[in-house]
Amino acid sequence: MGARVLLALGLAALVAVPPLLPKYALEVLISILFFGYLGACWNILGGYGGQFSFGHAAFFGIGAYTSTLLLLHWNVSPWLGMLAGGALATAFGLFAGYLSFRYGLRGPYFSLVTLAFAEMLRVVAVNWKAVGSSLGLVVPNRGSAPAMFLFAEKLPYYYVIFVMALGAVWITRVIERSRMGYALAAVRENEDAAEAAGVDALSTKLRAMAASSFLTALGGTFYAQYFAYIDPSLTFGPAISIGGLLPAIVGGAGTVAGPLLGSFVLTPISEVTRALLRGRAGADIMLYGLILILVISFLPNGLVGWLRSRRPGAERAA
Amino acid sequence: MSGTGLEIRGLTKRFGGLVAVNRFDLAVAPGEIVGLIGPNGAGKTTVFHLVAGFHGPSEGLIHFDGVSLVGLKPHAICRHGLARTFQLVQPFAGLTTLENVMVGAFNRVGDVAKARVRAAEIVDFVGLGPRRDTPARHLTLADRKRLEVARGLATEPRLLLLDEVMSGLNPTEIEAIIGLIRRIHSRGVSLLIIEHVMRAILALSHRLVVLHHGEKIAEGPPAAVARDPRVIEAYLGEAVEETR
């Protein structure tokens, strides 16, 4: 009951407070929700299915590039372009997933292959003139054009990513409580036993991959529209892959609220360290790495797991 | 559909130069309890892996109720009505007892609420009722063995393969599992059982099959097989002494 009230209050604050915030605070909040969203997308395959992708930037980049190219060449609204990007990313996800899962790549091998796929796309984008090569693409500024996913202010972008994050969390919740959620958990815990209990591990993983890659691609379009500029390393680079998996792992992989919670903790830390360590390139990344090591060592089930284990009588926590 | 049971003919599995199972024949009729015994490394578990689709056979036929299982994936074989347990228990450690069994129940029931009811029934049936909401990682070995059986049973098999569900248990726990196996059988499930606990396998089986170095060396009523000199020579000697 208390949790419900708290949740309602938190949501109300997230709707009501942003218009009152100064620009910088609003940008940080957008960042929090953006990485929380990416975390929630990653969580479907990585957290619930236990398939740790290190290459979700592949889907993110496909989303960003598809909607932007459709906009630049055919003046297609990114609202539609993002669906096209989602479809392409899903196709790529199924292709990469099928190759990996069909040939039994598990654990770190799967992680490495996904990393390689993302890097491959990055290199392709760097060398492909038609998609702007390493110079990237600029989304033309036409002032405020809501139908074209363009806003003059930050605030509308905030509400867009707010709705996207909420949507991703809601989808996660629906999956968790469905037959699919049980199948995913079974595959994560023990793939052989899952198969023996009648779970089609390959199709379960591919379905999670499809959902995860589609949603991640939508995040790519948001990024392109919000920053009005994309290039290969910003969109296909490891920073995006890590930006998704880190909040999910820190918050609690395989939990509904974990990725958002993780991002609410991590993103401000990252902002602060980046400001404090300005000029020392890579220092903030090292600090990030340190946090990840500490979390995995001391909070193997993330913040959500830790909170649950502190709740009296919560045996499920472990 | 139902009728012919399990039929294995000329089953051979080679791992490189090692012949783990050699031209093995076995039939399990509907309603039957067959014991599969043999010394360590005889190939018993390999036979289970082959039947349940975890390995592909090098040669031979495996039919279950008229359908060839060769080339099918484990989940497809499970859906066809043939479930197995693992010798080394393989629970979904992070899920509760009930959730573990629900995974199996989803084979026949799509709806979450119905699967929960079905799974709860089976959890009670195997005697894990009090442990229903305990994460599997916190269960004792005896309870994990029951969980293996429950998860298999939840898939509603017509034939259940039990791989050493009694190993590591104390005599009281073994008695309880024997009772459980009898109750499973009385639900109309046929059983193929690998077991080293000789007293139990002799009491339960309608028929015993003995595997040695991947080959069948004896088959028949338990009492006759236990007296077979070839079997005693292969490994039963000490175990038979124990039963007296």
The verdict on a CB contact (< 8 Å) between A197 and B90 is no
Q: Determine the pLDDT at residue A317.
A: 37
Residues of A in contact with B137 (CB under 8 A): 318
Chain A, window 126-165: residues with a beta carbon less than 8 angstroms from a chain B beta carbon = none
Tell which residue, B89, B5, B8, B80, has the closest CA to residue B48: B8
What's the CA gap between B182 and B202, in Å, rounded? 13
The verdict on A309 touching B (C-beta cutoff 8 Å) is no
Q: What is the pLDDT along chain B (244 residues), one digit of tens a residue?
A: 457 899 999 999 999 989 999 999 999 999 999 999 998 888 999 999 999 999 999 999 999 999 999 999 999 999 999 999 999 999 999 999 999 999 999 999 999 999 999 999 999 999 999 999 999 999 999 999 999 999 999 999 999 999 999 988 999 999 999 999 999 999 999 999 999 888 899 999 999 999 999 999 999 999 999 888 888 888 655 554 444 4
Q: Would residue B13 be called left, alpha or beta, if left means φ above 0 and alpha means ψ between -120 and 50 degrees?
A: beta
Token pair for B61? 């036929």
Task: Give residue A273's pLDDT.
Answer: 80
This prediction has a pTM of 0.90
Residues B103, A183: C-beta atoms closer than 8 Å: yes
Using a CB-CB distance cutoff of 8 angstroms, which residues of chain B are in contact with residue A195?
53-54, 73-75, 78
Are A191 and A201 within 8 A, CB to CB?
Answer: yes
Rounded to whole angstroms, the Cα distance separating A76 from A67 reads 8
Name B133's Cβ contacts closer than 8 Å, sequence gap at least 6: A315, A316, B96, B97, B98
Question: Residues A243-263: what's their mean pLDDT?
Answer: 93
Judged by CB atoms closer than 8 Å, whether chains meet at A197 and B151 is answered as: yes
Q: Is B28 left (phi over 0), alpha (psi -120 to 50) or beta?
A: beta
Chain B residues lying within 8 Å of A185, measured CB to CB = 92, 94-95, 99, 103
- Of the candidates B97, B103, B96, B93, which has an alpha carbon nearest to the alpha carbon of residue B125? B97
Q: Do B138 and A192 touch (CB under 8 A)?
A: no
Round to whole Å and give the CA distance between B196 and B37. 7
State how far the Cα of A284 lies from the Cα of A98, in Å rounded to an integer. 36
Q: Which residues does chain B have within 8 Å of residue A201's beta carbon, measured at their own beta carbons?
A: 75
Domain ranges (residues) in chain A: 23-241
A190-228 pLDDT per residue, tens: 999 999 999 999 999 999 999 999 999 999 999 999 999
**Structural domains of chain B, with CATH:** 6-81+157-243 (3.40.50.300), 90-155 (no CATH)
Identity of the residue in A178, A189, A201 whose CB atom sits nearest the CB atom of B112: A178
Return the bridge partners of B62, or none: B8
The ipTM value here is 0.90
Q: Which residues contact A125 (CB under 8 A, 6 or more apart)?
A: A61, A65, A131, A132, A133, A232, A235, A236
Q: Kindly state the tokens that stand for B185.
A: 């059988």
Q: In this predicted structure, what is the pLDDT of residue A291?
A: 78
B83/A192 Cβ within 8 A: no
Residue A61's closest CA among A191, A220, A270, A287?
A: A220
B interface mutation test: which of A195, A202, A204 has the most B CBs within 10 A? A195
Tell which residue, B173, B179, B132, B126, has the closest CA to residue B148.
Answer: B126
Q: Are the Cβ atoms of A189 and B95 closer than 8 angstroms?
A: yes
Inter-chain CB proximity B110 and A190 less than 8 Å: no
Residue A22: Cβ-neighbour burial (10 angstroms; 0-12, 13-18, 19+): exposed
- Cα separation, B99 vs A218, whole angstroms: 33
Q: What's the CA gap between A294 and A301, in Å, rounded?
A: 12
Which A residues in the span 197-256 are in contact with B, Cβ-Cβ below 8 Å? 197-202
Pairwise CA distance, residues B88 & B81, whole Å? 22
The lowest-confidence range among A6-20, A144-158, A183-197, A261-275 is A261-275
**DSSP structure class, residue B48:** H
Residues 6+ apart with CB under 8 A from A227: none
**Is A196 within 8 Å of B52 when comparing Cβ atoms?**
yes
| In contact, B225 and B210? CB cutoff 8 Å | yes
Q: Answer whether B92 sits within 8 Å of A189, measured CB to CB.
A: yes
Beta bridge partners of B24: B11
Q: What is the pLDDT of residue A2?
A: 76
Query: For residues A221 and A217, what is the distance between their CA atoms, to the nearest angstrom?
Result: 7
d(Cα A305, Cα A138) in Å, to the nearest integer?
A: 42
Point out which residues pair with B160 in neighbouring strands.
Answer: B83, B191
Chain B contact present for A190, CB below 8 A: yes
Measured CA to CA, the distance from residue B105 to residue A56 in angstroms comes to 33
B12 strand-pairing partners? B59
Q: Is B112 exposed, middle or buried (0-12, 13-18, 19+ CB in 10 A)?
A: middle
Cα gap B200→B26, rounded to integer Å = 21
**Exposed, middle or buried by CB within 10 Å (0-12, 13-18, 19+), for A90?**
buried
C-beta atoms of A193 and B92 within 8 A: yes
Note whether A198 contacts B52, CB cutoff 8 Å.
Answer: no
Residues of B with CB under 8 A from a CB of A: 52-54, 73-76, 78-79, 83-84, 86, 90-96, 99, 102-104, 106-107, 110, 112, 115, 133-135, 137-138, 151-152, 154-155
Dump pLDDT digits (tens) for A67-102: 999 999 999 999 999 999 999 999 999 999 999 999
**Using a CB-CB distance cutoff of 8 angstroms, which residues of chain A are in contact with residue B133?**
315-316
Q: Where are the beta strands (DSSP E) in chain A?
A: 137-138, 229-230
Nearest chain A alpha carbon to B89: A193
Best of A177, A179, A315 to disrupt the B interface (most B CBs within 10 Å) is A179
Task: Using an 8 Å CB-CB cutoff, list chain A residues near B155.
Answer: 197-198
What pLDDT is stored for residue B198 in this prediction? 87
CA atoms within 13 A on the CB side of A45: 35
Segment (H or E) for A125: helix A108-127
